[in-house]
Structure 1
Amino acid sequence: MLPGLESSGLPEDAIEVGRILDAWGVKGWVKILPHSASSEALFTSVRWFLQPPEAKHRPGFDAFAGTVILTVSESKTHSDSVVAKFEGIDDRTPAEALRGARIFVPRSAFPKAGKDEYYWVDLLGLNVLNREGVALGCVRDLMATGPHSVLCVEYTDEGQTLERMIPFVAAYVDGVDLPGKTINVDWQPDY
């Protein structure tokens, strides 16, 4: 196992927030692809839980097995990604070995969302209903399009699983009820 890694279990409320893309520089930094347009969850947690990449993404990964914890000594935004430095990893070779590792942080470490702000992970699985009470499907993913996010809503029609896209903006979203697990929208099934 690489230096600086400590074996651990994954917290019950762990959320995958990114993936290590590659080494960054020669002093042990890594470049990270965050799974969200906002990287606040990465910046607020000083201990990240890492798991190996799925085998199809990086066959032969051998930096570690299971779940490990790394302590983040420094992290910052760089261009369209995040770069981070871990305690105990001081040169490029061990940083390269982490390529593909998945990064998790406990949901409890996320900063509190502002009024009418939601973490994508909290929207996944919510049922989408229009103003007439028609069920439009279930949120399976979100997509960042630049100016706004788009709900990717999965539904079934005549035995086929299909997807509809609904812009996640106030013009179409009437409200989000997290406890009720619903999103109410001004959207018709035939849009």
Structure 2
Amino acid sequence: MGMIGGAFGVHGEVRLKSFTADPEAIADYGPLESEDGSQSFHVQLTRPVKQGFAARLSGVRSKEDADALKSVRLYAPRERLPQLPDDEFYHADLIGLEVMDTGGVSLGHVKAVLNHGATDLLEIAQPGSSQTALLPFTREAVPTVDLAAGRLIADPPAGIFD
């Protein structure tokens, strides 16, 4: 859902980067947890700041408390997430899917979903190689996503898997 960027000021606020479709909605998902579930925080956004928000987290009272949380990623339990339309997917559902070309040849599996502005990119770990390829996550390049079968069908632009 988001990531803590460290302290913002000296009164226990944190810099918070939201990964939700509506960035301000991060505070609406109830308490958010650290990846291992050992910490839980109620989030109150206080104001927008460059690349995110200044926020108050329950239990964080000082700059030192906030600094100790730098780079902690925040998660919400799956049952609190809204149902998505058929053509939208949670990144967590895509990671690990097998990637096959339109001829049925395995191209690898989805290692990560990245977004650097224009569109999501699927980072594909190629079989028998330490190299990865970046595949645009568009209808043209990925015409089929079959979560039940654990795979997606790709029609990659020329040169991506060379």
Both structures adopt the same fold (TM-score exceeding 0.5): yes
Identical columns (%): 27
Q: Counterparts of 1:134 and 1:76 in 2: how far apart (Å)?
A: 49
Q: Give the RMSD, CA atoms, in angstroms.
A: 2.8
Residue 165 of structure 1 aligns to which amino acid in structure 2? L
Structure 1 spans left out of the alignment, 5+ residues: 1-16, 53-65
Whether 1:25 and 2:13 are equivalent positions in the alignment is no
C-alpha contact 1:43 1:75 (8 A) present in aligned 2: no
Q: 1:43 touches 1:76 (CA, 8 Å); kept in 2?
A: no
Question: Do residues 84 (structure 1) and 55 (structure 2) align?
Answer: yes
1:175 has 2:144 as partner = yes
Give the TM-score taking structure 2 as reference length: 0.79
Match of 1:133, as an amino acid?
A: G
Residue equivalent to 1:72: 43
Check whether the contact 1:37–1:144 (CA below 8 A) recurs between aligned residues. Answer: no
Partner of 2:105: 134
In the alignment, which residue of structure 2 is the partner of 1:184? Answer: 153
Matches within 5 A, 1:7-26: 17-26=1-10
Alignment pair present for 1:148 and 2:119 = yes
Residue 98 of structure 1: CA displacement?
2.8
Report the counterpart of residue 28 of structure 2 in structure 1. Answer: 44
Question: What is aligned with 2:81?
Answer: 110
Task: From the superposition, tell whether residues 165 and 73 of structure 1 become closer, same or farther in structure 2 (CA, over 3 Å).
Answer: closer
Deviations 1:90-128 (A, max 9, x none): 554433343333323212222222331111111000011
For the structure 1 residues 117 and 94, does the alpha-carbon distance in structure 2 shift closer, same or farther, using more than 3 Å as the test? same
Contact conserved, 1:21 with 1:33, CA < 8 A, in 2? Answer: yes
Letter in 2 for 1:25: G
- Higher mean alpha-carbon deviation, 68-77 vs 141-150, is at 68-77
Q: Cα distance, 1:75 vs. partner?
A: 6.1
Bigger relative contact order (CA 8 A; separation at least 6): 1
| AA in 1 matched with 2:75 | F
Structure number having the greater strand percentage: 1
TM-score, structure 1 normalization: 0.69
Rounded Cα–Cα distance in structure 2 between residues aligned with 1:145 and 1:103: 20
SS state of the match for residue 173, structure 1? coil
Structure 2 unpaired stretches of 5+: none
Structure 1: which 4+ aligned runs deviate by more than 4 Å?
A: 188-191
Do the aligned residues in 1 keep the contact of 2:6 with 2:71 (CA within 8 Å)? yes
* Count of residues paired in the alignment: 159
